[in-house]
Amino acid sequence: MGTVSCGCRKNYWRFHLVTWDVVTTAREPTSVLLAFVAHHLQQGASTIWLCLDAPDAEFEALVADKPRVKVINCDVAYWRNEHDSRRPRDFRIRQKANARWAYAHSKSDWIAHIDADEFMTNVPQLMEFLKAQPEEILTVTMWNAERAQIRGLPVRNVYGGLFRVPLENRRNALTTRVYGANVRYLNFGVAGYNNGKSISRVGKGLDMLLHYAVLPEGQEEQNIRATFDGFSLLHFDGFTRNHWVNKMLLKAPRGKLLKRKNKARINQIVDTWEAREDVPLQDEIFKATKMLSLRQIFLLLKARKLLPRTFNITQAVAKEFPGHKVDFSPAAIDQELVKLQAKGDVFGKAANLDTSDKEAEPA
């Protein structure tokens, strides 16, 4: 008797002709790390290079039986043995150094350098695009969409919400109509960055930066970049109100604004710092920056500036960590965040760094 094939196995192997890794540097609650790992394992990542910027024994125990997850504790010994240096004070410098280290150790075809609040999506289509690229294309831009919460609706899961996409212009009639005076908090219609991240060919001697990879200094400039037209990165930019406010305050240690190019982000940081003792005002800044009213949702849908999708992390976590219950409610994540903050910068203290001035966090 013959069998009927749906072609799934054939498509599976076509998809896996391209292998890919992700690398991230993170100091986040355990639940956030589990979500990041579960999602990218389910998406097919060959290796997840998770550079812990703070120790997390619970997380390490939960992923101990997952060979595709490589946990690197970025402690004093790591910086001395792997980089022959002290631990850099600036978080962004640590990110780039860790990405370069993972790039050098990766055995896959491509590697993406992203943050723990970023999730790759449309992966099968992206892999097909990568497979079609000529050898001279060494790095591919992945456009980002950014999560926004809905005003008036209770948040039961920090991975819920809608995803807005960057607008073509920093300010135009649409941004003014949608956001009014609050447009000062938005960069091309999003709270964070609008220029995407990159996935890059391994073994080509590239220099891994925060948003893209480049040829090493001294090499002749070439056209090495292509762009994947679809949105392949979901950026959460703060999981809860408290998480986002804390992120803004870390960017202005002792009220000193660290150098930035993004004027909208500067406005977010300065206003949040000035409202550090005013919780209601912090709430208003958060709502203006990270939440959408029904009217705003209607206008963005009409302009096709909202992705027609949501994000479900619970299924991926249940498959990768069966039997382990994870609470993604805002209250639970905030509680984890408080515990993490109470520990302080463990690796920084061990490196004898002055951690009273918090280092810059990523954009």
Q: Is residue 321 part of a domain?
A: yes
Q: Which class for 308: exposed (0-12), middle (13-18), buried (19 or more C-beta within 10 A)?
A: exposed
CB-CB contact of 187 with 265 (8 Å): yes
The 8-class DSSP code of residue 2 comes to: -
pLDDT of residue 11: 43
3-state secondary structure 243-290: HHHHHHHHCCHHHCCCCCCCHHHHHHHHHHHHCCCCHHHHHHHHHHHH
Per-residue pLDDT of 67-92, as tens digits, reads 999 999 999 999 999 999 999 988 89
Domain that holds residue 67: 18-350
E strand segments, the chain? 20-26, 47-52, 69-73, 110-113, 118-120, 139-150, 162-164, 197-201, 207-208, 213-214, 225-235, 291-292
Q: How far apart are CA 127 and CA 120, in angstroms?
A: 11
- C-alpha closest to that of 141 among 166, 102, 118, 112: 112
Residue with tokens 């899961």, as numbered in its chain: 157
How far is CA 84 from each of CA 78, 89, 306, 341, rounded to the nearest angstrom? 9, 15, 46, 28
pLDDT of residue 220: 62
Q: Is residue 3 part of a domain?
A: no
How far is CA 331 from each of CA 32, 87, 241, 246, 316, rounded to the nearest angstrom? 13, 33, 10, 15, 21
Q: How far apart are CA 53 and CA 26, in angstroms?
A: 6
Q: Is residue 249 part of a domain?
A: yes
CB-CB contact of 165 with 145 (8 Å): yes
225 bridge partner residues: 139
Q: Is residue 2 part of a domain?
A: no
Q: Is residue 7 part of a domain?
A: no
Domain count, the chain: 1
Q: How far apart are CA 301 and CA 291, in angstroms?
A: 15
Asked if pLDDT for residue 15 goes beyond 50, the answer is no
Q: Is residue 196 part of a domain?
A: yes
Q: Is residue 11 part of a domain?
A: no
Find the Cα–Cα–Cα–Cα dihedral 106, 108, 109, 111, rounded to 10°.
-60
Residues near 173 by Cβ (< 8 Å), separated by ≥ 6? none
Per-residue pLDDT of 314-361, as tens digits, reads 999 999 999 999 999 999 999 999 999 899 888 888 876 544 444 444
Per-residue pLDDT of 121-154, as tens digits, reads 999 999 999 999 999 999 999 999 999 999 999 9
The 8-class DSSP code of residue 226 comes to: E
291 bridge partner residues: 149
- C-alpha closest to that of 345 among 353, 337, 336: 353
Q: How far apart are CA 109 and CA 45, in angstroms?
A: 11
Give the whole-number percent of the chain exceeding pLDDT 90: 78
What's the whole-number mean pLDDT along residues 224-240? 95
**Mean predicted lDDT score pLDDT of the chain:** 89
CB-CB contact of 194 with 164 (8 Å): no
Q: Is residue 69 part of a domain?
A: yes
- C-alpha closest to that of 311 among 153, 113, 161: 161
Longest CA–CA separation in the chain, Å? 75
Q: How far apart are CA 288 and CA 174, in angstroms?
A: 16
Find the Cα–Cα–Cα–Cα dihedral 338, 342, 343, 346, rounded to 10°.
100
What's the whole-number mean pLDDT along residues 48-63? 97
Per-residue pLDDT of 252-304, as tens digits, reads 877 777 667 789 999 999 999 999 999 999 999 999 999 999 999 999 999 99
